[in-house]
Structure 1
Amino acid sequence: MNEDRMVLDVALEAGCILLKNGAEIFRVEETVYRICHYYGIKSCSVFTLTNGIFLTAGSTTDPYFAKVKHLPVGGSHLGRVAAVNQLSREIEQGKYTIEEVEQQLKEIQNIPEKSNIAKIMASGIGCGAFCFLFNGNYLDALTAAIAGILYYVFTIYINRNRMSKITGNLCGGILLTIVCLISYHFQIGQHMDAMIAGSIMPLVPGVPFTNSIRDFADGDYISGAVRMLDAVLVFFSIAMGIGFVFLMYHHLLGGNIL
């Protein structure tokens, strides 16, 4: 019985790591099923939402036991998702005991994030590159890159002070737009639309939006709706931040932007 409960705990932990780090609902449930079945839990039922996993299972020694885990909607770390996927394949190949799987999951959970410097530089380079894709010139791309760098510095501040997601995205949209407006006002950047479109790329919730579509396609309508709502709120917050700065610029300075 103790071993069965350990299997349940390990399977649930694997599912939690996947869900917290941006995996789709079907991937979470499939991984939990595979671990339980391989280690002898024949009767297993998993119900997964965007912010929680409900797992019930039974065996010949302990017919009914259950686990529930609540997880707040967070970010993504696809390296951890890939590591759990690889671990689940190796489990089915018979490479690990349940104790070894538990240790492997602890190591996966401790996979570090990228350094702040790497994130800041990636944000700047990404913003500049996307500005080029939206027909911006070199100075537009430079402006977008600076805006992206400043935004990610601001993001680090948000994470340390636990600002709400909506407020953070609203303020991020305001910050990016102010940087682009300063460049445009002093005729450094020439294409306001390209600068704005490029600089907001770090804010765009690509993983939640894509996963919501996948969840809808798999029939997980509740999880899909939650993730879609999360993405829509981010889009709305960004738009509100940009619109607020444009409105203030027009009323205070009388400038025509686009």
Structure 2
Amino acid sequence: MGQIVEDTQTVGNTLLEVGALLMSSGASTHRTRVTLNRIANGLGYEIESLITQRAIMLTIIEEDQKYLFSRLKRISPLKPNFKMVSGISHLSWDVMEEKWSLQQINAELDRLKSLPHYPRWVLLTTVGAAGSGFCYLFGGDALNMLVAFVATVIGLFVRQEATKLKFNPYLCVFFAAFIASFIAGLSELFEIGSQPDKAVATSVLFLVPGIPLINSVTDMMDGNIQNGLVRAINGLMIAFAIAVGLFSSRMILNF
């Protein structure tokens, strides 16, 4: 009996880890719940889960109803990682179809957590290129694109550094929006390029909270109203921080 209880607790802890990783990596509530149920069923367990934006509660019920596991785990702040989301999704299907053991699941989770992230210079360069690309789509010329690139790269760098220093997430967005729009706004002040306003408008687009807003809609469509509203408000708060940062830089530059 003691071994069964211990096994149930091990399974429960693994499932909580899976759920927390999915939510913090940007998965929707519905996807997280479905994935947890798939893994649990593949291991021969039935579960009930309560998933919020900040924590996940899980209860395991065995077939004979004799042994229960119930525990809560906090969810880390959002750090988008689609490698993790897709990797856990593949893992869940392997558990169902290939009857993976708990040891195989934990080994795969350790592998996914150890996967390297993109180098910082790659992230800065590609996000900057995206900013200059948006500037081009909005009608900016080569000089405007260059300004948008530089402003985006520096703005993202500032946000990364502010995050490392553990500032409030909305303050990090404010700092990034302020610096990026201020740098781009200098091109208007010195009349660099044919349409410097396009560089200003696109310099903050890298901060747009796409994941929270998209997940808020999918959560509410799936009936997870509470999580959907929390994510929607979070997205609106980020948008507000962007607007305040942009407004502050415009006030300083007297535009």
Does the CA contact (< 8 Å) of 1:119 and 1:152 recur in 2? no
> Structure 1 pair 122/62, CA: closer, same or farther in 2 (3 Å)?
farther
Which residue of 44, 47, 58 corresponds with 2:50?
47
CA distance in 1: counterparts of 2:30 and 2:213, whole angstroms: 16
Give the counterpart of 1:193 among 193, 197, 209. Answer: 197
Alignment correspondent of 2:126: 122
Following superposition of structure 1 onto structure 2, how do residues 165-244 of structure 1 map, counting pairs within 5 Å? 165-244=169-248
TM-score (norm 1): 0.92
Please tell me whether the aligned partners of residues 56 and 67 of structure 1 are also in contact (alpha carbons under 8 angstroms).
yes
Structure 2, unaligned runs of 5 or more: none
1:33 matched to which residue of 2? 37
Which residue in 2 is equivalent to 1:247?
251
8 Å contact 2:159–2:175 — kept in the other structure?
no
Amino acid at match of 1:45: E
8 Å CA contact 2:185–2:197 kept in 1: the answer is no
SS in structure 1 at match of 2:253:
helix
Distance of 1:181 and 1:127 partners within structure 2: 15
When structure 1 is superposed on structure 2, of 227-236 and 159-168 the one drifting more is 159-168
Structure 1: which 5+ runs fail to align? Answer: 251-256
- In 1, distance between residues paired with 2:173 and 2:160? 13
Secondary structure, counterpart of 2:98 in structure 1: coil
Identity of aligned residues (%): 23
Amino acid at match of 2:58: L
Shift of 1:243: 0.8
Identify which of 63, 74, 79 aligns with 2:83: 79
Find the counterpart in structure 1 of residue 110 from structure 2.
106
TM-score, normalised by the number of residues in structure 2 = 0.93
CA–CA separation in structure 2 for the residues paired with 1:189 and 1:239: 24
In the TM superposition, what whole-angstrom CA distance separates every residue of 1:114-139 from its partner, at most 9, and x where no partner exists?
A: 11111110121011001111121111
CA distance 1:18–1:11, shift in 2 (3 Å):
same
CA RMSD of aligned residues (A): 1.5
